[in-house]
A and B are shown apart, each in its own frame.
Chain A
Amino acid sequence: MTDRRRPLVFIVALLVAAVLLQLARERLYAQDLPAADDLLYVRSEAVIQRTALSYDAVLGDAYWIRTLQYFGRGRLHPDGSHFVLLYPLLDLTTSLDPKFIVAYRFGAIFLTEPYPDGAGRPDLAVKLLQKGIATNPSRWELFHDVGFIYYWHLHDYKNAASWFDRGAEMPGAPWWLRTYAAVMLTRGGDRQASRFMWQNILRSATNSWLKQSAERRLAQLDALDQIDQLTQIVGAFNRRSAKPAETWNDLVSAGILRGTPLDPAGTPYELIPVVGHVELSAESPLFPLPTEPLPGQPPALR
């Protein structure tokens, strides 16, 4: 080994030794390592906007990435925290980059979905979207999303219709937004109306995550239709036979079904014996199904 190479070899050897020592420490004292808490050091949007100088957009991106990591980690390992930091993170992201439309739209979805798929806070989602509308008043997509939350999650069809109508006034708004408003007022929580909306979302989705979400919703609507059909079949069987169906095999043996019925995701439906109810399995990727309003119930009670 030449004299010039000797220091380099020593440096590499020392760095390797440092890595090995770290590994040994992590293995021997794993329990003593402090857990990484979810902390938000700065909550004031004014402070962060000022300190960002001219780098507010890139800092907004950093907060966006942090939001996605926080949300993704919470979904993979639910700890019952109900994503308490989700709204503050989205608020900071959108304060740093007020034109970041995706942050408002995806953020609203993350906030609206019931826990553990989301924070279960449609009220905060509406607040975030309204903040987006204040800085981007001509973006019809934001009006659409507020209307959709009122429709799908809050079952408030009058408000939903009003937001869809306002969105339809915006430049570049698609023709079907006006149809949504009319459908809300006439048919409310009709399953066909839901299917129409999710199909439109699927067609116009520019992101694979949104596409998957719409496909899942459409599969859930198919599952609701299938559950209705199966409930009728089980009811008819129970009325005809002396003994009510206890398992799907009873219906298969009677030649009514060809096999155990599967939901659109391929998981068998569950038959509740005696009462004859058909339910989606908790094991199914489509679980839980969206709640549907009871026919004739006024929106305020739903």
Chain B
Amino acid sequence: MRAIGYIAVNVFKESVRDKVLYNLVFFAVLLIGISFLLGQLTAGQDIKVIKDLGLAAISVFGLFISVFIGIGLVSKEVDRRSIYSLLSKPISRQQFIIGKYVGLVLTLLVNVSVMTLAYYVVLGGMAWVAGGWFLPAWEAPAVDPALLKAVAMIFLQLMMITALALLFSTFSSPILSAALTFGLYIAGHFNADLHHFDTVVASKPAGWLAKVLYYLLPNLSPLDIKAQVVHAIPVPAGYLLLNTAYALVYVTALLMGATAIFMRRDFK
């Protein structure tokens, strides 16, 4: 456990050294800058637009961090040959993979938390300028705690994407890993098509294959509740719990896969 902690903290420190946290400045400037411009452009919908934009930005920034750091987590150590000295220490390969994953998730957690804080500060500022926390023109309060549900679901998506990137990082080059991770990220939003594939093809096996792929590929679209939260549509707690359980189970499976592949690799 301690070994996992050391590796995780190292990954976090390395990402700080790599100036990953600079994206937080970008995020804050983007939100504050756009909130100043929006008043004249949205016909009174500036709070709604900032809510949409903030959640989308948290998701996009997180996605890029997950993919571009995740794909280098293992391959970088191999390329730098630091893997040899690492594995010669009393660290198992499982601990190495899990530590790397936990480290990146920790980086993401810090990023997402700070972005969420900045997001609420901007929304609070806009509400203060508008002269109320919940004006009749808005569907929900400006500083709406329900937005945290969407942020939590984004974080779960990022956890899944990080695990995918790490899995690919254990056996392929960074470029190929990035392409595969982005490919699965996109496929993860088209899953509904696979689910209903049997209604558009005559071939039964093709329909079955699509069904299998639907259940096998990461299904990211149910974790996207941004629009519901912004429009103050209630999201049942049971739905959130099932999504959380699904994401955690899927992440565990991916990490086990990554470990299994990494165990078989020969570094001699």
Residues of A bordering B, CB below 8 Å: 50, 53-58, 60-61, 64-65, 68-69, 97, 99-102, 106, 206-209
- Please tell me if B186 contacts chain A, counting CB pairs below 8 Å: yes
- Report B-chain residues with C-beta under 8 Å of the C-beta of A100: 48, 231
**Which A residue sits closest to B44, measured CB to CB?**
A207
A208 to B130, alpha carbons, bound, how many Å? 12
| 16 extra interface residue pairs, beta carbon distance < 8 Å, beyond A50-B190, A58-B53 | A54-B220, A54-B221, A54-B224, A55-B59, A57-B227, A68-B41, A68-B42, A68-B43, A69-B41, A97-B227, A99-B233, A101-B139, A206-B44, A207-B43, A207-B137, A209-B44
Contact A106 B43 (CB under 8 A): yes
- A54 vs B44: C-alpha distance when bound (angstroms): 24
Q: Mark B110-139, 1 if CB is under 8 A from A, else 0.
A: 000000000000000000000000011101
The complex places the Cα of A97 from the Cα of B228 at a distance, in Å, of: 10
Contact call A206/B137, Cβ cutoff below 8 A: yes
CB<8 Å pairs between A and B, sample of 12: A54-B220, A55-B56, A56-B227, A57-B226, A60-B52, A61-B42, A64-B49, A101-B139, A102-B44, A206-B137, A207-B44, A209-B43
Q: How far is the CB of B57 from chain A (nearest CB, A)?
A: 8
B199 is an interface residue with CB less than 8 A from chain A: no
**In whole angstroms, how far apart are the Cα atoms of A68 and B139 in the complex?**
20
Given contacts A55-B56, A58-B52, contact A99 B45 (CB under 8 A): no
Check B230 for interface membership: any CB of A closer than 8 A.
yes
Q: Is B76 an interface residue (CB 8 A)?
A: no
Check: B189 CB closer than 8 A to any chain A CB: yes
**A99 pairs with B227, CB closer than 8 A:** yes
Q: Is the CB of A65 within 8 A of B221?
A: no
**Residues on B with beta carbons closer than 8 Å to the beta carbon of A55:** 56, 59-60
Q: How far does the alpha carbon of A68 sit from the alpha carbon of B59 in the complex, in Å? A: 27
- A99 and B230 CA atoms in complex are apart in Å by 10
In the complex, A50→B193 CA distance in Å? 10
Which residue of the partner chain A has the closest CB to B221? Answer: A54
Q: Report the Cα distance A299→B41, complex, angstroms.
A: 39
Evaluate contact between B48 and A61: CB separation under 8 angstroms.
Answer: yes
Given A97-B227, A206-B135 in contact, is the A58-B44 Cβ separation under 8 Å? Answer: no
Pick the contact of B52 from A57, A102, A207 — CB < 8 Å?
A57
Residues of B near A69 (CB, < 8 A) are 41
- Cα-based distance from A61 to B42 in the complex (angstroms): 8
- Chain B residues near A58: list those with CB within 8 A: 52-53, 55-56
B135 contacts which chain A residues (CB < 8 A)?
206
> Interface size for chain B: under 10, 10 to 19, 20 to 34, or 35 or more residues?
20 to 34
Q: Is the CB–CB distance between B49 and A61 below 8 Å?
A: yes
Say yes or no: A54 contacts B59, CB within 8 Å: yes
CA separation between A208 and B59, bound complex, in Å?
33
Smallest CB gap from A55: residue in B: B56
Q: From residue 122 to 162 of chain B, which have CB atoms closer than 8 A to chain A?
A: 135-137, 139
**Which one of A56, A101, A208 lies within 8 Å of B44 (CB-CB)?**
A208
- A65-B48 Cα distance, complex, nearest whole Å: 12
The answer to whether A99 touches B231, judged by C-beta atoms less than 8 angstroms apart, is: yes
B139: chain A residues within 8 A (beta carbon): 101
Assess the B189–A64 pair: CB atoms within 8 A. no
Given contacts A54-B189, A57-B52, A65 and B226 within 8 Å (CB-CB): no
* Chain B, Cβ-Cβ closest to A56: B227
Shortest distance between the CB of A278 and any CB in chain B (Å): 36
Q: Which residues of B contact A54 (CB under 8 A)?
A: 59, 189, 220-221, 224, 226
Q: Which residues of B contact A57 (CB under 8 A)?
A: 52, 56, 226-227, 230
CB distance from A210 to the nearest CB of B (A): 9
Please give me the residue from chain A that is nearest to B135 by CB atom: A206
Contact in complex: B43, A61 (CB < 8 Å): no
Assuming A206-B136, A207-B137, is B53 touching A61 (CB within 8 A)? Answer: yes
Decide if B59 touches A61 in the complex (CB within 8 Å). no
A144 to chain B, nearest CB (A): 16
- B42 contact from A53, A65, A206, Cβ within 8 A: A65
Which residue, A61, A106, A207, A208, has most C-beta atoms of chain B within 10 A? A61
Closest B residue to A69 by CB, please name it. B41
Cα–Cα distance between A208 and B39 once the two chains are bound (Å): 12
Q: Inside 8 A of B45's CB, which chain A residues have their CB?
A: 61, 64, 102
Interchain CA distance A50-B42 in the complex, whole Å: 24
Interface residues of B in 28-84 (CB under 8 A from A): 41-45, 48-49, 52-53, 55-56, 59-60
